[in-house]
Amino acid sequence: AMAVADDPDAVHGPLELLMTIDEETGLTGAMDLDGSLIKGRIMINLDTEEDGQVYIGCAGGADSTAELSISRRTALIGSVPLKMTVRGLKGGHSGVDIHENRGNAIKITVRTLLAALEKELELDLISIDGGSKHNAIPREAFAVFRLPGASVPVMREIIDTKLAGFKEELGSMDPDLEIVLEQLEDGENLEKPMNIHARDRLLHALNGIPHGVLAMSREVPGLVETSNNLAVVNTEETRAVVITSHRSSVMPSLFAVQSQVRSICVLAGATVEVHDAYPGWKPNPDSPIVKTMVEVYREQFGKEPELKAIHAGLECGLLLEKVPDMDIVSIGPEIRNPHSPDERVQISSVQRFYEAVKGVLAKLA
């Protein structure tokens, strides 16, 4: 936006440049925007991650944060501290990539620990931590626990069995999954595991919270309608904090998932804070700015772009709430593996994206 405003070769009428903050961490900039500041009524949203795609709609979303109190006790005599690490998963964006059924490191960790308890191992859980962002699929997770020394070989066998099952489930989507068990040097910070009741409440809540696609759209073929992301778990001395991210293009369905997650957490004895939802953006393929964008793509690139509604969240729905008569379209360059350490942009697509922006501005001038 700043480049085209400063480009002497760009043809355009009066421009307003709207820069918002915290789009990736809660859309707070758009939420707190005073709509009366905006004078224009045509918006080109520069937040699309697929070259040659024109976004005309998106899902709404909300987050929930559950807090579960933890009581602790003295470790069993003769037990040894261990750390189990789940790693090697792709992770990714909880909207864009959720339909691929990528592995969730928190879920894999919990299922492995529950398998050990089903084998009646005396597993004293100290902590479980995984995920880093509300809108990213967790790619790593860590569990620290104690076991009687004689049970460590059995735990390794359980891990090997579960790993083989997970690899069968995930197939070629996450071929690099690893579950690593290592013994830790004992210390004061490892001598106070959770009591059994707290351990079981936490693990069963994490196991029960849904993750992945929950419904597909009945109107738009191939579009995920509703999903849930078990995003983050952090363990502290006296509490565990769990963050989940809910998305849907149908707001009643979004609130239903939010309520379901809340019920699961409340049954486990947790308190739940429900954060404000942001609205979806209903597709309008007959919008004038969409038609102009299609015309520009046809002229510049010799083909029409694909019009698409996405399951990820954009600020467009929020901005339409504040300026209801705004006509919006969204485009951008090719971005691969968003919200992961492998995120990157395809440089050649940036030039095409920029030329498309200039082209549509010239049409509107």
The larger pLDDT score, comparing residue 232 to residue 286, is at 232
Domains 2-59+280-364 and 62-274 share a fold: no
Q: Which residue has the higher pLDDT, 70 or 220?
A: 70
pLDDT over threshold 90, residue 285: no
The stretches of the chain forming alpha helices (DSSP H) are: 2-6, 28-31, 105-118, 152-170, 196-208, 251-267, 288-301, 316-322, 347-364
Give the per-residue pLDDT at 228.
98
Q: What is the CATH number of domain 2-59+280-364?
A: 3.40.630.10
Asked if residue 24 has pLDDT above 90, the reply is: no
Average pLDDT over residues 135-159: 97
CATH number (3.40.50.300, 3.30.70.360, 3.30.465.10, 3.40.50.10420) of 62-274 reads 3.30.70.360
* Confidence band, pLDDT 50/70/90 cuts, at residue 255: very high
Q: For residue 1, what are the contacts with CB-CB under 8 A and spacing of at least 6?
A: 15, 17, 19, 46
Q: Tell me the domain boundaries of the chain.
A: 2-59+280-364, 62-274
Distance CA 69, CA 89 (A): 30
φ, ψ (nearest 5 deg) of residue 159: -60, -45
How far apart CA 205 and CA 234 sit, in angstroms, is 14
Q: How far apart are CA 181 and CA 70, in angstroms?
A: 24
pLDDT in tens, 213-245: 999 998 788 899 999 999 999 999 999 999 999
Query: In the numeric block, which tokens belong to residue 82?
Result: 């261990």
Distance of CA 288 to the CA centre of its chain: 32
Q: Tell me, what's the pLDDT at 132? A: 93
Give residue 311's identity as a one-letter amino acid code. Answer: H
pTM value is 0.85
- Residues belonging to the chain: 365
- Share the mean pLDDT of the chain: 94
